[in-house]
Every structure is written in structure tokens, then in C-alpha cells.
Amino acid sequence: MAGYGYGQGPPGGYGQPGYGAPPHGQPGYGAPGGYGQPGYGAPPGQGMIPPGVDPQVYQWFIAVDADRSGKISAIELQQALTNTNWSHFNPEVCRLMIGMFDRDQSGTIDLLEFQSLWTYIQQWRGVFQQYDRDRSGAIEGAELHTALSQMGYNLSPNFINLVVCKFDVQARRQLTLDNFIQACVMLRSITETFRQKDTGGMGTIQISYEDFMTMAMLNKP
């Protein structure tokens, strides 16, 4: 790690405290892939829309809730979310996002939790497309370095390459949107844990073996 950066973004602004959140002020780019596409829409007028819920989000929720349980599981979420190349989100990141917004720890999310998750993905999609300058549908190492630097992370190119290798499940040396979200959430989570130990803000800490292992175990992503 070159120097040290804590990173930007509102801690705990979306989902549970300690997880990553995209910087404020990023533009949205429409619904997450798959939403609003043929086969995903829901007929209007199904049920009463609760106060404060976006009617369009409500229709997407109805469409994604395949078993009509009133809850969305990670499997149902994966069927609804696609990257810009139309590949589905990987199962691990879907489970991660369900966990972030599942406030009652039921393993599923309800309509209000889904609306928060939808907003979260919208913002990350805006960030992703901002740095996917060649519009390839994926972010390469140099683009990821730029993105993380502007988020406040001062990381070396070698570390960036390590991040790409860890989350590039197809071994193409680039990250799709789902991989990008997963990587950013991991960095935020690790940084928050480190910052709790770095009380002086020096960028270095001294910890025991067990403390280190505890930090690793608590890194949910």
C-alpha cells in the first residue's frame, strides 16, 4: 500500500454500518440491468403501493419476487441483476448485498430493504460507468486505480493488480460491475476495521496474531 488513504463515501450510509457506499453526487444510469427489460416487468396495479415507495421499484419488486413470498432471496436477486454485458451478477455478490440490507437477518429482503438496495446499485452503476471510459462493460487495472484514487484510497499499482486478480472470476484481468461493487465493499470494510485500530490516524498499526485473524474473519466480503 502506497502511503495510506481511508477512502471516501458515507460510512453506513446504505445498508449496515461498516460496509462500502458509493460517493455522494454520482449520477444514476437507469435501472439495474434486467429491470424493465421484456420478461421482467409486472402488470400495473398489483396491490397497494406502500407510502414512500417508488411505484417503479414496487413493480420491479413484484417481478423479482418469483415465489410471491413478499421477500426476495439471493437467488431471486441474481436472476434480476445483470452487468452491462448482460451476464448475471455472481451469486457471492448477491448474497453480500442481501446481507447488507437484510436488517432483520432473515436471509431475504422486503420491499423497503429492496428499495434501499436498488438505490445503492444505481449509485454504484453510475460510478462504474464514469470510470469505464472505453465503455467496454468492464474496468481494467488502470481505470480501477483512477476510480479508487478519486475515492480517496492511496494504493499502489501492485495492490490494484492484486484486487483485480482476486475479484476477476473469469481471469480476464478486468472487473465487471458486480466484481467492482464486491471489491469496493471489501476495501471499505477492511479500511473501517483498520481505522478502528489506527486511533492516531498514522496509517500504521501494531496488532497481535489473534487480532489480525479476527480482522480477517470479520471481513465479510
Q: Give the per-residue pLDDT at 47.
A: 58
pLDDT tens digits for range 98-143: 988 888 888 999 999 999 988 888 888 888 988 888 888 899 999 9
pLDDT (0 to 100) of residue 180 = 92
CA distance 112 to 52: 9
Whole-number mean pLDDT of the chain? Answer: 76
32 part of a folded domain: no
Would the pLDDT of 73 be above 90?
yes
- Domain span at residue 189 reads 55-218
Higher-confidence position of 216 and 173: 173
Which regions of 34-173 does DSSP assign to beta strands (E)? 139-140
Residue 28 clears pLDDT 60, i.e. is over it = no
In a domain, residue 14? The reply is no
64 found inside a domain: yes
Residue 91 lies in a domain: yes
Lowest mean pLDDT among 72-81, 95-104, 130-139, 207-216: 207-216
Name the domain count of the chain: 1
| pLDDT at residue 82 is higher than 70 | yes
- Indicate the pTM of the whole model: 0.68
Query: Which CATH number fits the domain that encloses residue 178?
Result: 1.10.238.10
pLDDT of residue 219: 65
What is the helix (H) or strand (E) element at residue 174, kind and residue range? strand 174-175
pLDDT the model gives residue 50: 80
Q: How confident is the model at residue 18 (pLDDT cuts 50, 70, 90)?
A: very low
Q: Does 2 map to a domain?
A: no
Can you give the pLDDT at residue 110? 93
36 in any annotated domain: no
Q: Residues 154-180: pLDDT tens digits?
A: 889 999 999 999 898 778 889 999 999
User: Per the domain annotation, does 28 fall within a domain?
Assistant: no
Using the CB atoms, write b or e for 109-132: b if 16+ within 10 Å. bbbebbbbbbebbbbbbbbbbbbb
In sequence order, which residues have a C-beta less than 8 Å from that of residue 121 and are 6 or more positions away? 32, 81, 97, 181
Domain-located, residue 206: yes
